[in-house]
Structure 1
Amino acid sequence: MKNNYHHGNLKEELIKKGIELINEVGEKNLSLRKLAIICDVSNSAPYTHFKNKDELLKEMSLYIFNLLKLELENTRKKYKNKENLLEMLGKTYVIFFLKNIKYYYFISSRKDVEIDLSLKINENNLTALDILKEEAINKFSKYNIPDEDIQNKILAMWSLVTGLVAIINMTSKNYVENWENKIDEIIKASFITYYKEN
């Protein structure tokens, strides 16, 4: 008989186990019933946290992006007011998914993940991208760069780090012994993280 009471944070465990299950058997084979068995709880227990599978999937994406946001916030605090802040935010993004491959595979498989590439920032509910946007705006607005150009730079930076994550996960690990050092070199070599006045 399964436990009706679960010690610890059942919602978080369902999310974590759900991400692992999707990586192992695919999204179509995910169900709240299967997760109940894995977490050793009653079949009804998951429904106290999620109405259905779709809600669970959305919470999984939110969980991952919140972890990423926390990492970016820590980097921002550490490198606040330093010239290389944007580069370090980019590196933090790449390293996060390099160390959490299952999160990368889950997010890259989602069709319902939306990102806001406008210059709007919701101060009350910052996202991982908002942190990059905020710091990019702070940096580039000093040079009176038009908003459209700032937006293009943000898109270029976001594309760089997401592209790096994809490349690392597609490339033979023999290509580079230490990807962390290589990431530094690649981001520093890009021209999109700085601006010179003419």
Structure 2
Amino acid sequence: MATAARPAALIAALLGVVLAHRTARAEPQASAGVTLGVAGAGLERRLWDTTVFHAGVRGDVLFGRAANDDFGVGPYAEVLTHAFDEIQVGAGISALVPVLDVLPLVLSTGVYGRWSEEADALEPGVAAAVFWGGRSYNFHSPYAMSTGLLAQMRLGLGPSRETAVVLAAQLDVTLLALPFVYAINALKGPSPEAAPVRRAAAPAP
């Protein structure tokens, strides 16, 4: 019996070391993106009564991941508008499901507050969302880029009984900043380190 128990004990010890190592390497990974698309909005529980423009900013922080095939969970926050005549601010919890290594699903649920032209005061609501797209684990930074498709169902609990179905593209904020970074670097010219290299490489007259 003692001989048979040794392999099982060895396997359990190895699993413990591996799991402890993965847990030690797991660090929070933040992400932020701009959402652009359409919303099927309606009042008095009328679903998709009218189609309006959707724009927003959404970010989250996921905990528990150490590789692309790990699950993750953490808080999210968002600010958005529909047709620019209202503003919604929300927060909740997100869970990443690694259906594919670099193309996971991120499921979210939370609450929000809505200020609008037709409402006399802040209206509460609940929301659920699904994101699918590129979001790989970043081994070199606590920030992970994410770009993909976002679908949301939003249900207002105030007097207007507002509903909205959102279909949008989520673009990582770093991608949107790249043209500005390139333009700034072009205006600044070569760095002090690069200037001597360029002079040395120039052909002699």
Greater helix fraction, Structure 1 or Structure 2: 1
Fold conserved between structures, TM > 0.5: no
Q: TM-score, normalised by structure 1?
A: 0.26
Greater strand fraction, Structure 1 or Structure 2: 2
Larger radius of gyration: 2
Q: TM-score, normalised by structure 2?
A: 0.25
